[in-house]
């Protein structure tokens, strides 16, 4: 390891340079690409996007990867450091009207941590950002951990909100292994798992812990790792246990303030466990499922209308609405919770869905079409062509060259030549459903 490499934090050294290097944020990547492509065609539905997610999920990284891949210069402003309206206009205002330097294709304006603004104390800061978005001739990306406060409503209205999901332990392990290989460090799997678990879904924390434990070593063992689990991180078992045992509104609602809380994952967990936890009271089951259903209705409304100020109501219905129900039966200190069957089935078809998503993304680029068009029209057409002896061989060989996949992988991506036991079709329907949303 050179002296220069030691001066560089691994966070920066191994920051993904292309969107394909960003782990397991496929929906966010597709939405971001669709948005920047609409800018390049001169028809953006929104001049700005807001990347939203817990700390360490890759919001800023995603912005820089997009800029690097598309050949844009990034002009970054951390909204929590430069707060007043006058200062924001001074730093950013002129640059929005100037061309890009050094041969870049264009410029992306990045407002990092916009939810760090205090509307009362930071004089005119929020209004200045809204004004600059409306006037800008360059695309604008904002990042935020929790922008659901009503005070950010005007800012959300100006942007397309793209949600990043918390990364799982397997995703973080993939990143840690990649770094160890690049640094030529032999790492025990138990050591990496300890770091991944302790990170609680925060990639930055995991990489920093890895560098602290492994830098300068050729071998990393479990004994070398001295990290402590971050107290604010809860897995879904702990989240549900706290909700079911909650006796007050604020106690149940408090889980939504955890950085690791993933409301999309929470829904199937609650849906599968309510009947068993409240088995002694049909009234409690009925009330809890009614409120959970209402939260899903609100979620659908948010997706259709982008009225993100409704988010608090959705979260209250799915937490306090599940916990504070009529005729709630007494619960044991430890309730038995089950892993959701839907997620279990999705895990079984994960490889096929990943291959299919890669195929869709590649076809989207080659055909200059949207992901929705590729999923609804082109993939079924390719599957039909592959069922014909006249086209099958040439089609599969072409897809193997384009994707760099084996014949078996291409067949899995198309859903042919392999038995999916009915699950592949379900995965395809789920992929189509996600694309339509």
Give the residue numbers of the binding site for ATP.
Answer: 53-60
Residue 270: closest CA among 252, 247, 248, 249: 252
Phi-psi region of 108 (alpha: psi -120 to 50; beta: other; left: phi over 0): beta
DSSP track, 225-243: ------TT---HHHHHHHH
Q: Which residues pair with 110 in a beta bridge?
A: 76, 141
- Cβ contact 220:214 at 8 Å: yes
How many whole angstroms separate alpha carbon 383 and alpha carbon 199? 42
Q: Which tokens sit at 235? A: 């897995």
- Cβ contact 246:324 at 8 Å: yes
- Cβ contact 92:109 at 8 Å: yes
How many whole angstroms separate alpha carbon 275 and alpha carbon 288? 9
The helix/strand/coil state of 110 is strand
End-to-end CA distance of the chain: 47
Q: Which tokens sit at 415? A: 């859903």
How many whole angstroms separate alpha carbon 225 and alpha carbon 213? 6
A 10 A CB-CB count for 254 gives: 16
Rounded (10°) angle between helices 341-348 and 263-277: 130
How many whole angstroms separate alpha carbon 96 and alpha carbon 88? 12
């Amino acid at each position: 390891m050179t002296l220069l490499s030691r001066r560089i934090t691994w966070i920066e050294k191994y920051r993904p340079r292309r969107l394909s290097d960003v782990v397991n944020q496929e929906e966010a990547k597709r939405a971001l690409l669709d948005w920047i492509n609409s800018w390049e065609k001169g028809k953006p539905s929104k001049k700005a996007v807001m990347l939203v997610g817990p700390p360490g999920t890759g919001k800023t990284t995603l912005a820089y990867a997009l800029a690097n891949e598309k050949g844009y210069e990034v002009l970054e402003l951390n909204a929590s450091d430069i707060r007043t309206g006058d200062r924001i206009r001074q730093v950013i205002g002129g640059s929005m009207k100037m061309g890009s330097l050094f041969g870049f294709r264009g410029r992306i304006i990045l407002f990092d941590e916009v939810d760090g603004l205090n509307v009362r104390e930071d004089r005119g800061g929020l209004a200045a950002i809204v004004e600059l978005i409306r006037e800008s001739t360059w695309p604008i990306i904002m990042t935020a951990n929790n922008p659901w406060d009503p005070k950010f409503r005007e800012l959300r209205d100006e942007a397309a909100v793209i949600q990043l999901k918390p990364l799982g332990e397997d995703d973080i392990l993939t990143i840690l292994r990649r770094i160890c290989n690049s640094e030529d460090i032999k790492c025990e799997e138990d050591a990496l798992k300890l770091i991944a678990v302790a990170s609680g879904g925060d990639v930055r924390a995991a990489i920093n812990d890895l560098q602290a434990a492994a830098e300068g070593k050729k071998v990393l063992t479990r004994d070398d790792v001295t990290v402590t689990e971050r107290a604010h991180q809860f897995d879904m078992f702990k989240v549900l246990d706290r909700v079911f045992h909650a006796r007050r509104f604020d106690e149940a609602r408090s889980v939504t303030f955890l950085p690791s809380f993933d409301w999309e994952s929470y829904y199937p967990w609650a849906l599968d466990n309510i009947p068993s936890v409240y088995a002694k009271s049909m009234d409690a089951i009925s009330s809890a499922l009614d409120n959970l259903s209402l939260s899903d209705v609100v979620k659908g409304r948010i997706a259709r209308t982008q009225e993100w100020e409704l988010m608090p109501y959705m979260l209250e219905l799915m937490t306090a609405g599940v916990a504070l129900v009529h005729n709630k039966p007494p619960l044991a200190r430890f309730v038995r919770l089950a892993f959701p069957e839907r997620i279990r089935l999705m895990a079984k078809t994960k490889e096929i869905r990943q291959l299919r998503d890669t195929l869709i993304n590649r076809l989207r680029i080659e055909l200059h079409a949207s992901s929705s068009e590729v999923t609804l029209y082109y993939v079924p057409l390719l599957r039909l062509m592959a069922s014909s002896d006249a086209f099958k061989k040439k089609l599969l060989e072409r897809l193997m060259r384009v994707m760099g996949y084996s014949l078996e992988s291409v067949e899995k991506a198309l859903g042919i030549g392999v038995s999916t036991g009915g699950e592949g079709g379900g995965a395809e329907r789920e992929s189509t459903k996600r694309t339509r949303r």
